Amino acid sequence: MSLMELREKNSLINKKNKLITLFALFLILGVSIGFNLAFITRGPELITREKIIETTPIFEGIIGETYELNKLYEEISPSVVLIETMRGTDRSQRQGSGFIYSEDGYIITNQHVIEEGRRIRVTFPDGKIEEAEIIGEDVYSDIAVIKVDRENLKPIPRGSIDEVKPGDTTIALGNPFGLEGTITKGIISQKNRLLNTEAGFSIPNVIQTDAAINPGNSGGPLLNMRGEIIGINTAIRTETGTFVGVGFAVSVSTMERVVPSLIEEGEYKHPWIGIRGRPMNPQIAKEIDSNQEKGVLVSEVVRNGPADKAGLKEGTYTKKIWEEEIKLGGDIITKIDGTEMMNMNDLISYIAQHTEPGQEITLTIEREGEIKQKQLTMGERPEPGEMN
């Protein structure tokens, strides 16, 4: 055999050995991959939702909450309606939201949604459209009740405002800009806010949320994660006209107090004390030489109102404190029926929740350094523009 022939033979042997080695490697790798695939797919329990949650707890909240939101929406959305109001003689139209209150056709919305309504039309998620009549409306709480001629409706269950805490997840349902069946999610930013109204009074116990609400959401429900209503979406604070993260909902406790009266009598009679006031603070206390740094300083007393008849004293002079003109010299309300009043919010909330027209209450006041008690009979809040 020549040298050339020997080299060619060795080359063929080397190539053959390399091919055998390469084939062996591929065979080993294939067996390994096959084993691993068999391990991953073996037993369907290894890739179920429960197994994923069990083995990766970090995903539990995400998967669980998404599942609950889907379920909540399917359950509640059939009870949320689109409300269209034809107003006045100019035939202008306003859109808003509402929700089923009872099986026999009562629907809750905001008073400003149906204000000056000439015709009211309700569109249900199933596509049916019904004409509605106004049963009752209350401008002071911005709540209205309308009714459609339809039965076997599904009301939304009602929750408790006492269980609501800042940081809780919350859901808003409604029709922003007429976009029917919209759901948004956020948290409870705070509770027990005062919401000023165009009627000149404040709505107490209002919920603040960052769940996106926009024009058209008014009157729709704010829900907890159990699908219970905790508030009626009512207003936003904005400089642009659209949502910037601060929304407000009238609490379910206010709704529970006002709605039965609207259904039975067409109106709700709000209790009224007949004062204008401001919260005390250390600067005011120092100025008037008082030890009372908390409470409500009476600035004005409405003539012939309950406070006037009870003998409360209003401010007699004005002074600038921290660049603000403040009326001083009036009584300081510190307690109502033994309950401490820290500020104006406490006073308005207490009156709204615990009193009614004709009820007698006991005010504890400080006047010129002396503690006194005054008996006061609650009045009925006058219509807008009727106060002196």
Burial class (CB in 10 A: 0-12, 13-18, 19+), 43: exposed
Burial class (CB in 10 A: 0-12, 13-18, 19+), 387: middle
Q: In the Cβ-directed half-sphere of 256, how many Cα atoms lie within 13 Å?
A: 13
Task: In whole angstroms, give the CA distance from residue 221 to residue 238.
Answer: 20
Task: In whole angstroms, give the CA distance from residue 142 to residue 255.
Answer: 10
Contact 362, 338 (CB under 8 A): yes
Contact 249, 234 (CB under 8 A): yes
CB environment 136-173: b (16+ within 10 A), e (fewer): bbbbbbbbbbbbbebeebebbeebebeebeeebebbbb
Burial class (CB in 10 A: 0-12, 13-18, 19+), 286: exposed
Name the residues annotated as catalytic. Answer: 112, 142, 218
Contact 167, 209 (CB under 8 A): no
Give the residue from 255, 254, 169, 245 showing the smallest Cα distance to 214: 245
CA dihedral of residues 37, 40, 43, 47 (deg, nearest 10): -140
What's the chain's length in residues? 388
